[in-house]
A = this chain, B = another copy of it.
Amino acid sequence: MTDLLADRDGWLMTNCSIARTLDVVGNRSTLLLLREASLGTRRFDDFAARVGISEPVAAARLKQLVADGLLERRPYQEPGKRTRDEYVLTDKGAQLVPVLVALRQWGDTWAADDAGPSVRLEHHDCGAEVHAVLRCAGGHDVEPDELDVRPGPGLLRVDSE
């Protein structure tokens, strides 16, 4: 899958983007809260109930998601009700949607109920089913075994030996 593997021990993974992303969204309840936000949930109680977590956990995770800039908290008011805050996905948060779609599609394939998946994602414009796929800048579809790993500008190498 890579031809730089021979060199692999010369790399340091202290600047791994996967690890850094997991530092932000690396736990179950955080990702499920983002799932809910992407489905349109906005209110505190709904988040807790729909994700199936307790209120203290929901409060802590939502607070962290706001602090990390994935959700934005803003006041709103339903007619005849008092003002309150809602949580909505920021652009930064919305850019995690491909992660959610990829997770969903793996689960649909490998871990679905006998009845099949509970939800189907469609392209709003044409109604066709949506998938997460790998594609290169040259426009080709890329399979997992067609990836080459190259050093990037931020790659830290071991100080010789």
Instruction: State the A residues within 8 Å of B (CB).
Output: 1-2, 5, 8-9, 11, 13, 15-24, 26-28, 31-32, 35, 38-41, 46, 50-52, 92, 94-138, 140, 142, 144-156
Q: Which of A5, A109, A152, A156 has most chain B Cβ within 10 Å?
A: A152
Task: List residues of chain B with CB within 8 A of the CB of A126.
Answer: 136, 138, 140
Q: Are A104 and B15 in contact (CB under 8 A)?
A: no
CA A27 to CA B28, docked complex, whole Å: 8
Residue in contact with A152 in the complex, picked from B22, B120, B138, CB distance below 8 Å: B120
Q: Are A135 and B130 in contact (CB under 8 A)?
A: yes
Residue in contact with A32 in the complex, picked from B19, B106, B107, B109, CB distance below 8 Å: B19
- With contacts A119-B150, A136-B128 taken as known, whether A111 is within 8 angstroms of B144 at the C-beta atoms is no
Q: Are B132 and A133 in contact (CB under 8 A)?
A: yes
Q: Are B15 and A103 in contact (CB under 8 A)?
A: no
Copies of this chain, how many?
A: 2
CA A120 to CA B81, docked complex, whole Å: 51
CA A106 to CA B19, docked complex, whole Å: 11
Q: Are B154 and A115 in contact (CB under 8 A)?
A: yes
Q: Are B32 and A118 in contact (CB under 8 A)?
A: no
- With contacts A106-B21, A112-B20 taken as known, whether A136 is within 8 angstroms of B130 at the C-beta atoms is yes
In angstroms, how far is the closest chain B Cβ from the Cβ of A18? 5
Q: Are A21 and B99 in contact (CB under 8 A)?
A: no
Known: A21-B104, A122-B150, A123-B147. 6 other contacts (CB 8 A): A15-B112, A39-B149, A98-B133, A99-B102, A122-B136, A130-B136
